[in-house]
Amino acid sequence: MLRARRERWRIWPRTRGKRLTPAAITSVDPGEAIDDIERAFGRIREGVKALAGESDRIQATVGYIADVQTQTNLLALNAAIEAARVGQHGKGFAVVAEEIRKLSEQTAESAKQIHATLDRLNGGIRHISGLIEDSGGAVSGGAASVREAGARVRGIIGGVGELAVRIGEVAASVERISEDSAQVVRSSREINRVAEENSAFVEQMAAMATEQESAMQRFALTSEELRRVSDELRKMTDSFSV
């Protein structure tokens, strides 16, 4: 059980460290993607500005054409008046003046249509420009949030990596403690064995001491008996001497 637990502690930092990597979280850097989007919005914004500039130049050209048409119409009208004044000799000139007047009117109508189209185009350009500015602001805000989130994620990954290292160190310490504990267990068993041997030796010594005490008691009794017999022999010897 303890060995299996140590093995799990040893494996955990490696597996967790491999899972929590930037490549595992995302294969594309969101900061780079946001930068690409911002650059694309910048190019679109510049393109819209250029289109607005071209529209303004076309508008100015249409205004110039309208002015020329007005002057041409006046010249045609004056030419028609002069042709009518000279009578038969000015009839051909009057026909040309009428054609010029008709072309002038057609030019004026075309200029009006172009002007209306440019007005709609400019309105669309302004609307698109507003949308681009709003979207650009949102993208910029999102970019800041994504960069901040990316920094936090990198901080978390770094913290997890450091934690994995610490856990590895703890696992190594636990393993060393386990080895020391095993050594303590072996030493305890050796101490118990020696204690059991000492206990047996003590019991043996106690038995020997008991046996020796019994022998000494028997020796004391024997000595007492010998003393008594010696006293009797001495008395008998004394009686013979008398």
83, 100 contact by CB (below 8 A): no
Residue 114 counted as domain residue: yes
48, 132 contact by CB (below 8 A): yes
* Other CB atoms within 10 A of residue 111 CB: 19
Residue 138 counted as domain residue: yes
Tens digits of per-residue pLDDT, 135-152? 666 666 666 766 777 677
Cβ neighbours of residue 3 closer than 8 Å, sequence gap 6 or more? 178
Residue 142 counted as domain residue: yes
Percent of the chain with pLDDT over 70: 72
Residue 115 counted as domain residue: yes
Number of domains in the chain: 1
pLDDT of residue 241: 54
Residue 143 counted as domain residue: yes
Residue 226 counted as domain residue: no
CATH number (domain holding residue 64): 1.10.287.950
User: Does the pLDDT at position 8 exceed 60?
Assistant: no
In 8-43, which positions are buried (b, 16+ CB within 10 angstroms) versus exposed (e)?
ebeeebeeebeebeeeeeeeeebeeebeebeeebee
Determine the Cα–Cα distance for residues 143 and 33; give it in Å rounded to an integer.
9
Q: Which domain holds residue 20?
A: 2-193
Question: Across all residues in the chain, what is the average pLDDT?
Answer: 71
**Cα 229 versus chain centre, distance:** 109
Residue 238 counted as domain residue: no
93, 79 contact by CB (below 8 A): yes
Tens digits of per-residue pLDDT, 191-232? 777 767 777 776 777 778 788 777 777 767 777 777 777 777
Cβ neighbours of residue 98 closer than 8 Å, sequence gap 6 or more? 76, 80
Residue 56 counted as domain residue: yes
Tens digits of per-residue pLDDT, 41-71? 677 778 778 877 877 888 788 777 778 777 8
* Other CB atoms within 10 A of residue 59 CB: 16
To the nearest 10°, the Cα dihedral for 200, 205, 208, 210?
Answer: -100
User: Does the pLDDT at position 28 exceed 60?
Assistant: no
100, 79 contact by CB (below 8 A): yes
